[in-house]
Every structure is written in C-alpha cells, then in structure tokens.
Amino acid sequence: MQKYDNYIDGKFSQSKSGQIRKIMDPANGEQIATVPESTKEDMLIAIAAARKAFDHGPWRKTAALDRGKALFKIADGIRAKAKMLAEIETKNCGKPLPEAEYDVADAANCFEFYGGLATKIHGETMSVPANSISYVVREPVGVCGQIVPWNFPLLMASWKIAPALAAGNTVILKPSELTPMTALELAKIIHESGLPEGVVNIVSGPGVGAGEELAINKDVDKIAFTGGTATGRKIMTAATGNLKRVTLELGGKNPNIIFEDCDIEAAVDGALFGAFANQGEVCSAGSRLLVHKSVHKQIVDGMLAKISRIKLGHGLSEGTKMGPLISSDHREKVESYIKIGIDEGAKLICGGKRPTSADLSLGNFLEPTIFDHVKPTMRIAREEIFGPVLSVIPFSTEEEAIELANDSEYGLAAGIWTKNVVRAHRVSQALRAGIIWVNNYHPTFNEMPWGGYKQSGHGRELGLHGIEAYLEIKQININLDETPIGWY
C-alpha cells in the first residue's frame, strides 16, 4: 500500500491536520493507498508558495526555450514511469489497462506539445500613428488554481499544468479526492525535473475547504475547472471576488447521429464505443444515439449482437473492456436513472443490472445498459448520467436529427455517421457543439481545442487556444517624438 504526500513549495508533506483519506480500488474494495485529506489551511500555504514563486521567483523570467526544455523533461519522466502510472490509474479509477496506457502516453505528449509551443508565444507590432511604435506582448496570467475530475486523473492534470507552465505561470492543482494517485506521482516527476520551488503545487483534498479556496482566494489569478456543471456554476460565482480568469470544461449530453447512408458496422462500433468507453464516465460520451428509422433495427440488433463482447472485470485483467464505476454512491446514482428510464416508459433492451458473478461482487460494476424508443423529453435523454447508459432515439429526417441534437442545455460534443461528405459538412455546421466527430467518436488531439457551447463550459483547453487561456495581453506604446505635446 502506497502512502502519498502533498507537494507544496518544492517539498512533500502531509496535511497540517494530519488527516488522511483511504483510497480504494473500485473493482474489489481493497485499500491501495492513503493520501492527505487537506483543508483550507493546506491550500493557503500552497497558494502563498505559488504567489511567492510567481512574484519573486525565476520561473516567469525564465527563457521560453528553457521552459520548453523543462516540459520535455517532464514528458520523459512520464514515459519512463509509464507502466507504473498506467497500473496505478487502472487500480485507482477502474478503467481497463489499455485505456490507462493510452492516457499516460497522451499525458506525456501533452507536456511535449506545450514544451514546443513555449517558444511560439508571439506578439504584434505596428507603427501607427506616426512617430510611435505600438506593440502587443503576451504575459503569464499569474497564479493558476486548477481542479481536475476523477475520470481521467493524469490526463486532465497534464492538460492544465502543461500550458500553464509553458506560458510562465505558477500553479496549484487539486486532483479529485477519489483519484489523486497519479497526480501525486506526477508531483514526484515534476520535482525530479528540477522546477523551481513553488512553481507547481499539488494538494489532495475535497472540494469543500480545499477546492473552494482556490476559487475564492484573491491571490489566485485564474481558476481552471473540469467537472460537473453545477459545481462549475459555483466556481464561476466564487471567482467574482477578484474577477479571476475562469476556464470551465463541464458536462454533456452528447448526440451521436446515425444516418441511413452510414457504414452500418462502423456505426455500431462507434455507438458502443461512444457510450461505454471508460464505463461511460466521460463528459463527451455519446449517450444520446439518434438513429434514422430506416436503419434503426439494424443498428439496435448490431449493438445487441456485440454487447456481450464488452467484458466486465478488473482493469488489470486481460480482456477486460469495461471496469467498475468510480464508487458505490455513483453506481447507485446511475442505477436511479435506470429506474427513472423504466418508469418513464423507455424500453430497456439490455443491461440495467449489477453482474452476478462472484469475482465482480465486491466491485462497483454495472452492466452496459441500452434503452430503446426513448422520447426526447425523458430525463434519461436530457440529464447527464455519467455512466454506461445509452438512450436510442429514432428520427425521420436530417432536419429532425439536427433539432433533436441541439435540443439540450449542453453543447460539448457530437458524432455524425454518414458516407455523404456534403451532409457531413452541412450537419457539422448546424450542430451547436464544440467538438464534432464524423465517422468516428472520442479521438482527442493535443493540437486541437477542446471545450463546449452552452452549459458545457467556458473557454477552451488544448491546442493554441489552450495556452491563450493562460496568457494576458499587454499593449505597449513608445513615442518616438521627444517634443513636448504642448497641450497646456
């Protein structure tokens, strides 16, 4: 069993209160680690360290080339420990090992991408009006509070820390109290990379007390949050105290649209992967499957024929395709939605139960679940369930599909399955979502922006837009005419 410490001001330490949290493997209930149960007091120390490091330390004055090299070194550190990190990720949050391995590799790629981008932060110049030079520079925002969720612990930490460091900021990261292990392992890698003290601080603890202090505290210049929409609203409200910059990546109830001219086999695979990858615990999950009536039966029959291939089990067991949900409480929440769907009159065509095999009885497992003939007004079609529950909604025309897809308070992602390239472009432009996949679902690229419309969030992560979120823009004007203006 592993014992972890917070990482504050270049040092590892337990919480000031001495309180710890036991971390359990959601697949079998076994304790795998202890972590600090930090409070406001610990967060205040971390904020002070980050503030001092930004205002008086060397990091923001470090040459961009050297900042980039530091990020490359972190990427190398992640790759050197990739096997260990993937196994920890699997045991901490339940996902199958191949998915965790992909996440770890992508985390290293993220640090490498922003390491290269550190030297590409450009300004602008102009010589109007006459006898003057005006120019624009981009400077770091300052102290950045960052809060990440439990479904992609290491990857989300990398998405936030890497661009902030490339831009010259200092950070305080709070991982989810349920899945802090790989973030705290990342702290060790960052420490070994030789970053100055206080530049990166990683503090484990709950949202109440530790997390909320990042949003409230006036020494924090920016807050970046990934998680539920309700919590995002609270963070945005709390951030008004000093009008700190806010980036929010929130929930989704994402449509995955299958048209009559699709490749049926590819669409079936895409529907299942879109809904059940990472146990459906994905903000961009394709949990609303909009299917043209002419291929409805083929798609549903195809999914039912393949769903038995989604093997449930411990993520470290060979052949596992879906692991447990993160906690027993979350499983009960998902189960409550399954009951709601049945009560609302949707047709449960598979799943909906806990597996009965003895080897799964101690974990938070739930069968992949599909409801057919779901009405767009039903709660299971409108509310984010964040679990392995798919709602199938038939449609008749392209116009109806677009209307159904956009009829949501969310707008994070959407999928389109069609062989018609003109339709693909036309529907992509009509959908009110920040990420559109055509004949695919779920790929994410460090080079491209990630974020949503409407209540799916505010701002973008990744790509060039991701680093812009950590930069301030400053206008500087130089008068070349030394003659007094003679105004008075």
Residues 6+ apart with CB under 8 A from 90: 96, 97, 100, 315, 316, 323
CA-to-CA distance for 189 and 195, rounded, in angstroms? 10
Structure tokens at 144: 């950045």
Q: From CA 269, how far away is CA 349, in angstroms rounded?
A: 17
Q: How many Cβ atoms from other residues are within 10 Å of residue 377's Cβ?
A: 9
- Compute φ and ψ for 430, nearest 5 degrees: -85, -20
Of 402, 407, 390, residue with least CA distance to 299: 390
Helix (H, G, I), strand (E, B) or coil at 32: strand
Give the dihedral sign, CA 283/285/287/290: positive
Angle in degrees, CA 243, 244, 245, rounded to 5: 120
Q: State the residue for tokens 């450009």.
A: 122
**The two three-digit tokens of residue 161, written as one number:** 């820390």
Residue 414's φ and ψ, nearest 5 degrees, are -160, 150
**Consecutive H or E run containing 235:** helix 229-238
* 287 Cβ contact partners less than 8 Å away, ≥ 6 residues apart: 253, 254, 275, 280, 384, 385, 389, 390, 391
What is the rounded CA–CA span in Å between residue 359 and residue 344? 33
Radius of gyration of the chain (CA): 24
Q: What are phi and psi of 402, to 5 degrees?
A: -65, -45
Catalytic residue set: 249, 283
- List, in sequence order, every beta strand (DSSP E) within 318-362: 347-350
Q: Could you give the CA distance from residue 71 to residue 74 in angstroms, rounded to a whole number?
A: 5
CA distances from 57 to 52, 129, 133, 142, 344 (A): 7, 37, 31, 12, 59
- Name the nearest CA neighbour of 316 among 28, 22, 24: 28
